[in-house]
Chain A
Amino acid sequence: MSDKIEISDRYSGLYRENIEKISESSSAYINSFREAAFKRFIELGIPTKKNEDYKYTNLNLYFDHDYKNYFMPVASDFVKAEEFRCDVADLDTHGIVLLNGFYPTINDKLQQLPGGAWIGNLNEAAVMFPEQIEKHYNKYANSETDGLVHLNTALAPDGVFIYVPEGVTMIKPVQIVNLVYSDEDIFNQHRNLIIVDKNAQFSLIVCDHTLSPQRFLTNAVTEVFVGENSHFDIIRVQNEHNNAGKVTYTFIHQERNSVASSNNMTLHGGLIRNSTYHYLGGEGAESNSYGLFLTDKFQHVDNFVNVDHAFPHCTSNQLFKGVLDDMSTGAFNGRILVRQDAQGTLAYQKNNNILLTDDARMDTKPQLEIYADDVKCSHGATVGQLDEDALFYLQSRGIDKQEARLMLMFGFAHEVIQNIKIEPLRERMDNLVMQRLKGELSRCESCMVNCG
C-alpha cells in the first residue's frame, strides 16, 4: 500500500502544481472533467499487479521514476520534428508529424485535408468544433476502474483531433509519425479524439519513433467514434527503443452497421501496454482487433482487449500473436462481453504465441462473459515452440533448419500482417518483421530515425 501512495503522490503533486497552467490552453468543457478525474485517480492510483487487469505487468518499473518534464514540448522542439519525412515507397498518405504525441502547433494549424477530413490539435478543435467536442469528448473512455485513464483525463494538456464529416471518404490514409525526442527523461500524456461521422471512411496509420536515448514514458488515451455505416481502420507501428515505456488506451465506439479495425504492430519498446476497448453500440456492427509483437532481451508487451457486444447481430474478431525471444515476457488478456440483448452475436478470439527460449514467458487469459442465448463464440490460446512437424516438412524439401525456422516465424507473423488492407504498408510490415526476425535493425531504410 505504501508503494502505491508514494508513487501516486508524485503524480498528484503534478496536478496541484500544474493544473492552472494546463487549464489555460484548454477549453472550459475539457477542463470541466479534470478535477473529478483527478479525485478518481487518487482513489485508484497507478494500477499494480494486484489489479486483475494488470496481473502480468509491472508498471512501477516505469512509473516509479523521476522524469524531468511532464508536459508539452516547447516550441523550439517542434522545429526538429518538422525536418522528419517518412518515405515508405508507394505509400501515398497525408503525412503528419507529432512530437512526443503532440500536434505541432507552430506552423500547422487545424486544417482540412484534401478529401474533407479535419486534422489538428484538440485545444484548437474545442474552439472551432465545440459541438463535436461536447458530443464526443470523454464519452467513450469509460474504463471506470483504471487509474491511468483518469490521470490522463485530469492532466493531458492536448492531443490530436481528427474529424471526418458525414459522407466523407478519405481514399488516402492519414499517416501520423510520432517522434519521441527529448534531452531529458520525460513523461507524456496526450489525449486524442477521432470522430468518423456517418457514412464515412477513414484509415489512420500511426508510427512511433524514438529519436533520443532518454527514458520515456507515455500514457496516451485515444477515443474514437465510428458513426453509422462508417469504416475506420487504425494501424499502429510501435517502434520505440528498449528504454521507453508506453501505455496506450484506445476506446472505439461503434454505431450501427459500422466496421472498425485496430492493428497493433509492436516491433520494439521496453514496456508496452495496449488496451483496446471495442464497444459495439448498434446492430450489425463489426469490430476487428489485431496485434502482433516480437520481443527480445528484457522487453515486455501486454495487450489487453475488451469487446463489448451491446446490440444484436454484431461480429467481433480478435487475433493476437507474439514471438518471444531471450528472457522477454508478454501477456494477453482478451475479454468478450455479450450482453443480454445481443442476440445473434458472433465473437471470435485467437491468441497464439511462440517462445523461442526457455526463459521467455507468456501469460494469456481469455475471459468470456455471455448473457445472451443465440451466440456463436470461440476462443483459443496457445503458447508453444515452433511446430517440429512443419519444420521437418520444410527441411525435407531442402530448406536448411535456420531458414526453415525463419520461414515459419515469418508465416506465423504474416497471419496478422495480412489483415492490413493498405498494400504498401503490408509489404513494409512484412519487410520490417523479416528484418526483426533475422535480428537486423528493423527500421525503414528511408527513415533517418534510429529506433532500434
Chain B
Amino acid sequence: MLIINNLKAAINGKNILKGISLEVKPGEIHAIMGPNGSGKSTLAAVLAGREFVKVIEGSVTYFGKDLLEMAAEDRAKEGIFLGFQYPIEIPGVSMVNFMKTAVNEHRKHKGLSPLSASDFLKMMREKKEMVEIDSKLANRSVNEGYSGGEKKKNEIFQMAMLEPKLAILDETDSGLDIDALRIVAGGVNKLKNSDNSFIVITHYQRLLDYIVPDVVHVLYDGRIVKTAGKELAVELEEKGYDWIKKEVENNILA
C-alpha cells in the first residue's frame, strides 16, 4: 500500500528526515515512536502533503502512484487521513458543513452522487455514536472552544466519516485522560479491517495497550533506528529512549 524509500526532507533548510524507508501493507498497524524532535510529525506532514516540508530525496509510493506528486486534497480523496496532533479551530465553519463538503468531495471522486441531507445526517449520527462524541459538538464551529480531548475525539469522528485506507494518527493520544484514550483507541479498533492500515505516531506506550501494533519503529534523529514487534513498545516504556540513543551513537562511533 505505502512504500517509503530513503525519504529525506527539510523544513526551512534544516534537514529533519534523513533517509526513512518503511513499507505498510493492507491491514497492518504500524506504531512510530521516538523522543521529541526525532521527526515523527514531519513524517506525518510529508505524507499528508504539507507544503512547508521540502522533500530533498527519496520516494513515497501509494498504491503504485507517486504520492509526493499529489495535492493534499487528492491524497485525502485517495484514502489518506491525517489525525492532527493539534487540530485547527475554524470559527464560522460548522462541523456539519465541513463534513458534508468533505464527504461529498470523496463521493464525487469515486463517481458517486452527493448524499441527500437526510442520508448525510443519518451517517453523522451513526458515526457519532460509534466514536462516542457528544452530538452537540457537531452543531458548533470546527473545533472552536472544544477541549483538548474533544478535539482529538473529533479527529477520530472525521476519520470514521471519511473511512480512509491509510490513517496516520499524529500523537492523537497525547494529553488525553484514560476515558478519552479508550474512546480514541476504540474508534480505531472499530474502523480497523483487513484492507485498511494505520500509522500510529505516539510518544507513549500507553496507547498501544489499546491499539495493538503489528510493527513498532523507533525514529531518532530523522532515521528509523529500530524496528520490531509490539514488545518493543513495552521495552521503551520501561527503559526510556536513552539506551536507543546510546546504541545509535555507539554504532556511529564504531
Q: Are A412 and B92 in contact (CB under 8 A)?
A: yes
The CA of A335 and the CA of B103, in the complex, are separated in Å by 45
- What's the minimum C-beta distance from A407 to chain B, rounded to whole angstroms? 6
Q: Are A399 and B84 in contact (CB under 8 A)?
A: no
Q: Which of A389, A390, A395, A410 has the most CB of B within 10 A?
A: A395
Q: Are B50 and A398 in contact (CB under 8 A)?
A: no
Q: Are B101 and A395 in contact (CB under 8 A)?
A: no
Question: Contact check: which of B50, B73, B92 meets A399 at CB < 8 Å?
Answer: B73
Q: Are A407 and B87 in contact (CB under 8 A)?
A: no
The CA of A390 and the CA of B143, in the complex, are separated in Å by 11
Question: Which residues from chain B contact A397 at a C-beta distance below 8 Å?
Answer: 73, 76, 98, 102, 158, 162
Q: Which of B89, B92, B109, B162 has the most CB of A within 10 A?
A: B92
* Band of interface residues on B: 20 to 34
A403 within 8 A of B: yes
- What's the minimum C-beta distance from B195 to chain A, rounded to whole angstroms? 19
A400 within 8 A of B: yes
Q: Are A390 and B90 in contact (CB under 8 A)?
A: yes
B89-118 to A contact mask, C-beta < 8 Å, 1/0: 111110001100110011001000000000
> Interface size (A, Cβ < 8 Å)?
24
Q: Are A407 and B84 in contact (CB under 8 A)?
A: no
CB-nearest residue of chain A to B77 = A398
A414 within 8 A of B: yes
A398-B109, A399-B73, A407-B93 as given contacts; A393 in contact with B101, CB under 8 Å:
no
Question: Contact check: which of B72, B89, B92, B162 meets A395 at CB < 8 Å?
Answer: B72
- What's the minimum C-beta distance from B171 to chain A, rounded to whole angstroms? 16
Q: Are A393 and B87 in contact (CB under 8 A)?
A: yes
List residues of B (197-219) whose CB comes within 8 Å of A's CBs. none
B17 within 8 A of A: no
The CA of A390 and the CA of B102, in the complex, are separated in Å by 14
A393-B87, A394-B98, A396-B49 as given contacts; A408 in contact with B76, CB under 8 Å:
no
Q: Are B90 and A399 in contact (CB under 8 A)?
A: no
The CA of A243 and the CA of B91, in the complex, are separated in Å by 34
Question: Which residues from chain A contact B92 at a C-beta distance below 8 Å?
Answer: 410-415, 418
B142-168 to A contact mask, C-beta < 8 Å, 1/0: 100000000000000010001000000
The CA of A312 and the CA of B190, in the complex, are separated in Å by 57
B88 within 8 A of A: yes
The CA of A251 and the CA of B32, in the complex, are separated in Å by 62
Q: Are A396 and B72 in contact (CB under 8 A)?
A: yes
B141 within 8 A of A: yes
B233 within 8 A of A: no
- What's the minimum C-beta distance from B174 to chain A, rounded to whole angstroms? 18
A407-B93, A407-B98 as given contacts; A395 in contact with B88, CB under 8 Å:
no
- What's the minimum C-beta distance from B247 to chain A, rounded to whole angstroms? 35
The 7 closest A-B pairs by CB, nearest first: A411-B92, A398-B76, A411-B93, A414-B92, A397-B102, A393-B88, A395-B72
Q: Can you spell out 15 A-B residue pairs with CB atoms less than 8 angstroms apart?
A: A390-B88, A392-B72, A392-B88, A393-B142, A394-B98, A397-B73, A397-B76, A398-B77, A398-B109, A401-B73, A407-B101, A408-B93, A411-B90, A412-B91, A415-B92
